[in-house]
């Protein structure tokens, strides 16, 4: 287990994943009943963009930095407002000012900053050093519980939440073969335990046949209404270094999610693909893998 997210914090994949997470949480907040967020691969929670690791890749400059510098349409600004309102204070007012403290909040901080006083957060991180950093970050927070289990084990132990409302974020590192199979198995485990909950499943788009099989399997399983969102800042078929495309599958999405993502996705892509040497291959995908909620099975 060698993956360290600090190298990639704030990149275009984070922007897409965290935007979707923000929109789901904001929808949950429309009702007064409390909810729970379960994050299976939480990382350290907060990333120093001035660190040596983040400086080696500078991926945040082609992700969140480009988005913040973009002149967006009113419709896109409205959709992005909750997400930007969370991340902007950590980044500082001037992204180019020398010596300024500059951080990017991961999903634990984003979820926690959006939650209300009665909501709960379960964070899991297997990497011992990262888990220790996460525990330090949330040591005084009574609404947050930090675990150190295998990410897919958490699905079985943390669901269903006692609140009976919530969202599961599964964001594995994809370091080993078979991750798509584990992701589908985890999706089924989560659905069996918490059929009404929203699931956000993140994945990189590298092995195109594997990604296609993953989408087709989810469509064939048809557990619940399921939306897929992908963004490619350059052609993923080209032999270029680094991640070119990413996606999230959302099981039981809020009914507003499709239209909100549709309103912002073209501008999101345009902002983060601009300036890329291979941006001619940039594209996005927004489609229903399962459109109608299936009838109850006997």
Q: Any catalytic annotation for residue 119?
A: no
In total, the chain counts a number of residues equal to: 298
Collapsed DSSP state (helix, strand, coil) of residue 292:
coil
Q: Indicate the DSSP class of residue 121.
A: E
Separation between Cα atoms, residue 24 and residue 46, nearest integer Å:
21
What are the angstrom distances between the C-alpha of 81 and each of 57, 67, 103, 134, 258? 27, 12, 19, 26, 17
Enclosing H/E stretch for 98: none
Backbone dihedral region of 12: left (phi > 0), alpha (psi from -120 to 50 degrees) or beta? Answer: alpha
Spell out where 54-165 has E strands. 103-105, 120-124, 144-147
Q: Which two tokens stand for residue 158?
A: 């943390």
Backbone dihedral region of 242: left (phi > 0), alpha (psi from -120 to 50 degrees) or beta? Answer: left
172, exposed or middle or buried, with CB in 10 Å at 0-12, 13-18, 19+? buried
Options 113, 171, 212, 235, the catalytic residue? 171
Q: What is the dihedral of CA 10, 13, 14, 17, to 10 degrees?
A: 160
Residues marked active site are found at: 171
């Amino acid at each position: 287990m060698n993956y360290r997210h600090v190298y990639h914090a704030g990149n275009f994949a984070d922007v897409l994943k965290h935007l979707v997470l923000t929109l789901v949480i904001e929808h949950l907040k429309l009702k007064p009943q409390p909810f729970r967020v379960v994050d299976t691969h939480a990382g350290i929670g907060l990333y120093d963009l001035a660190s040596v690791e983040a400086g080696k890749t500078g991926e945040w400059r082609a992700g969140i930095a480009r988005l913040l510098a973009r002149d967006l349409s009113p419709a896109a600004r409205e959709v992005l407002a909750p997400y930007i309102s969370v991340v902007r204070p950590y980044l500082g007012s001037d992204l180019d000012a020398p010596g300024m403290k500059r951080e990017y909040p991961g999903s634990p901080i984003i979820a926690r900053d959006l939650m209300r006083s009665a909501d709960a957060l379960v964070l899991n991180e297997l990497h011992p050093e990262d888990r220790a950093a996460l525990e330090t970050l949330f040591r005084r927070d009574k609404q947050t519980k930090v675990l150190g289990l295998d990410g897919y084990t958490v699905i079985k132990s943390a669901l269903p939440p006692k609140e009976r409302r919530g969202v599961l974020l599964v964001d594995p590192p994809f370091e080993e073969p078979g991750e798509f199979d584990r992701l589908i198995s985890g999706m089924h485990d989560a659905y069996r335990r918490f059929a009404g909950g929203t699931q956000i499943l993140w994945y990189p788009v590298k092995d195109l046949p594997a990604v296609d099989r993953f989408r087709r399997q989810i469509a064939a399983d048809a557990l619940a209404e399921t939306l897929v969102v992908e963004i490619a800042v350059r052609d993923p078929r080209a032999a270029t270094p680094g991640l070119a495309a990413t996606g999230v599958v959302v099981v039981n999405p809020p009914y507003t999610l499709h239209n909100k993502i549709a309103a912002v996705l073209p501008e999101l892509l345009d902002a983060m693909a601009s300036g890329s040497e291979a941006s001619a291959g940039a594209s996005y995908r927004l489609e229903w893998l399962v459109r109608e909620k299936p009838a109850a099975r006997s």
